[in-house]
Amino acid sequence: METSGLISELERCFPPDRLLQRPAQMAPYESDALTAFRARPAAVILAETQAEVIQAVRLCHRHAIPFVARGSGTSLSGGSLPVEEGIVIALNRLNRVLRLDPAQRIAVVEPGVINLDVSRAAAPHGLYYAPDPSSQLICTIGGNVAFNSGGAHCLKYGMTANHVLGLKAVLPDGEVVQLGGESLESVGPDLTGFFVGSEGLFGVALEIILRLLPKPECYRTVLAAYDSLAGAGDAVAQVVASGLLPGAMEIMDALAIEAAEAAVHAGYPRDAAALLIVELEGERVQVEAEFAHLLRVIEGSGPKTVTVAKDDADRARIWKGRKSAFSAVGRLSPDYLVQDGVVPRSRLGEALATIERLSRTHNLRVANVFHAGDGNLHPLILFNGRVAGELERAEALAGEIIQMCIALGGSVTGEHGIGMEKRQHMRAMFTTTDLEVMAELRRALDPGEISNRGKMFPDGEAPALSSHGVHPLERQGVISRE
């Protein structure tokens, strides 16, 4: 790729400390949280204003050089992996909450705003931003928009797309568009919804209008332990079928429990094969009545033990364990792959039993900590990349789990996106025509395919799977996974 023309133009627009070109400076940007992939860009732009982002995109377009927008680089599917010799547009410095309107219950934010900071800003008004990925302490709203990210509390009020009312974006060819608005409703095709989840292929979101919700009056949380993972999975199906509508329903298996206990002492029962967390939220009288019903359903599902959170501190501890479990499991092993497939909720028990079996046949440990309420699995496949053949075995195991999800009528990804990692599975989900139409839509927005080139579509060029280990920012102590 011939980048010198672009680089010299960029040098005129950005000071050297915000146009990184030396390998050492760019190292933290070479991969995301899927560290098996790594690529070196030609330059990294640390943008500070929307105008700078627009200018950078327009220059890339004029020079036909690919770019990748980047938030905090916590993508688990290689979504923010740079294009080799392309440009990275880092958005962390566009981190202003531009407007918070408690009466209309909206927040207008720049893309680099950290997910949790939206809720922090809204808290004094009794409001919060609902989607809560486990990475919410570090991931950005821009990244959330690109991946339609979810979290533990997305069962009742939905994922990122359900909370984005409108946005301003620069399309890959430099046009700036305004989609949606401040109303919960819209007319015409839902272009905001179409942009959300486009994995950075539709350009860069510059300003996002988010819906805020009032904090519920009351939460009731129960922790049930089971003798088997499948038992916990079946309990989820029973809770769903009971007609209750929990705010969250999460499962952790023995490995995850152990790791979470070691990390944050959540007080989980240690001898369980699986834990199920179910939480109800809403008006107190209603929640209390429903909670009694929930406990009956849980009792009927054959748990070993049932623990009810007594107070806010108890509840906070349960959630702290859950939210740290993911990265805590990661620390049990030099390397891991995480899958994100979805199965129908009524098939959860079956799916989990299959994963256990596959784990044995491939002789690799698999930890499960996931959003059970929407059937969204997160098996973490633990391996050691230094042992010859383990990475390949881990990948084979991951592939079989994905095939199972498809066979059960589910999806290859619930929230982490296709990115780099799951591109080859798109063909199992969609027909050639479906993919062709998606590719045409992409080119209608990005004729040169410069925005996040090589991602999502099955035929893109893939850099070889190579290195492993912790996130480069993590190694430097810039981020940590909580």
Partner 1 sequence: MSATLSTTMSAVTVISPETNEDVQTVVCAYEQIVVRGGGTKPALCTAGDGATVLDTRRLTGIVEYEPGEFVFTARAGTPLREIADALAAYGQYLPFDPPLVQEGATLGGTVAAGLSGSGRHRYGGVRDFLIGVRFVDGQGRLVRGGGKVVKNAAGFDLPKLLVGSIGRLGVIVEASFKVFPQPPRYATLRVSQPSLDAALAAITRLNGSTFDIEALDLLIEAGAPVLYVRQGGLATTLEERQQSLRIWLGVGTPLRETDEAEFWAAARAFSWAPADWSLVKTPITLNTIPVLEQILQASGAQRRYLAGGALVWIAWPGELAQLHVYLTQLQLSGLVLRGETQWPFVGARTGASLAARVKRVLDPTNRFPIL
Ligand X SMILES: Cc1cc2nc3c(=O)[nH]c(=O)nc-3n(C[C@H](O)[C@H](O)[C@H](O)COP(=O)(O)OP(=O)(O)OC[C@H]3O[C@@H](n4cnc5c(N)ncnc54)[C@H](O)[C@@H]3O)c2cc1C
Contact flag: residue 58 with partner 1 (CB under 8 A): no
Binding flag, residue 370, ligand X (CB under 6 A): no
User: Which of 14, 147, 226, 370 is close enough to bind ligand X by CB under 6 A?
Assistant: 147
**Residue 150 sits in the site that holds ligand X (CB under 6 A):** yes
- For residues 26 and 44, give the distance between their C-alpha atoms in angstroms, rounded to a whole number: 7
Could you say whether residue 181 binds partner 1 (CB under 8 A)? yes
Beta carbons of 154 and 414 less than 8 angstroms apart: no
Q: Is 64 helix (H, G, I), strand (E, B) or coil?
A: coil
133 binds ligand X (CB under 6 A): yes
Helix residue ranges, H only, 377-431? 390-407, 426-429
State how far the Cα of 400 lies from the Cα of 181, in Å rounded to an integer: 42
Residue 101 backbone dihedrals phi, psi, to 5 degrees: -115, 95
Sketch the per residue contact string, 346 through 365, with partner 1: x for CB under 8 A, - otherwise.
Answer: x-------------------
Q: Which of 87, 139, 342, 401 binds partner 1 (CB under 8 A)?
A: 342
Place of tokens 């292929």: 201
Are the C-beta atoms of 408 and 166 separated by less than 8 Å? Answer: no
Residue span binding ligand X (CB under 6 A) among the ranges 67-75, 220-228, 234-242, 348-356: 67-75
Residues 77-96 that bind ligand X (CB under 6 A): 79-80, 91
Q: What sign results for the dihedral spanned by CA atoms 325, 327, 328, 334?
A: positive
Minimum Å distance from CB 437 to ligand X?
21
Q: Which listed residue (134, 354, 368, 413) binds ligand X by CB under 6 A?
A: 134
Subset of residues 307 to 326 that bind ligand X, contact rule: CB under 6 A: 326
Q: Which does 221 bind (CB under 5 to 8 A by kind): ligand X, partner 1, none?
A: none
Taking CB under 6 A as the rule, does residue 200 contact ligand X? yes
Select from 154, 156, 157, 168 the least CA-distant residue to 206: 168
Q: Output 95 or 148, the one with its CB closest to partner 1.
A: 148
Task: By CB under 8 A, tell whether 124 contacts partner 1.
Answer: no
Closest CA to 26 of 418, 333, 476: 476
Total residues contacting partner 1 by CB under 8 A comes to: 94
Tell me: does residue 269 bind partner 1 (CB under 8 A).
no
| Residue 414 interacts with partner 1 (CB under 8 A): yes or no | yes
Angle at 71 between CA 423 and CA 392, to 5 degrees: 35
Q: Choose among partner 1, ligand X, none what residue 69 binds, the Cβ cut-off being 5 to 8 Å by kind.
A: ligand X
Residue type, 430: F
Which of the stretches 11-19, 81-89, 120-128, 262-270 binds partner 1 when contact is defined by CB under 8 A? 120-128
**Of the two residues 39 and 240, which places its CB atom closer to partner 1 in the complex?**
240
Of residues 405-434, those binding ligand X (CB under 6 A): 415-416
Say how far apart CA 42 and CA 38 lie, in whole Å: 13
Residue 297 as a binder of partner 1 (CB under 8 A): the answer is: no
Instruction: Mark 141-180 with x for binding to partner 1 (rule: CB under 8 A) and - for no binding.
Output: ------xx-x---x-xxxx-xx---x----x---x-xxxx
Distance CA 10, CA 198 (A): 26
Residues 271-290, interacting with partner 1 (CB under 8 A):
282-283, 285-286, 289-290
146 binds ligand X (CB under 6 A): yes
Q: Is 103 exposed, middle or buried (0-12, 13-18, 19+ CB in 10 A)?
A: exposed
For residue 335, give every residue at least 6 positions away whose Cβ sits within 8 Å of its Cβ, in sequence order, or none: 35, 36, 382, 383, 384, 385, 390, 391, 394, 468, 469
- In angstroms, the CA 321 to CA 127 distance is 24
Nearest C-alpha neighbor of 357 from the set 295, 401, 309: 401
Is residue 33 within the footprint of ligand X (CB under 6 A)?
A: yes
Which stretches of the chain bind ligand X, using CB under 6 A? 32-33, 68-76, 79-80, 91, 111, 133-135, 139-140, 142-144, 146-147, 149-151, 199-200, 204-205, 326-327, 415-416, 452, 481
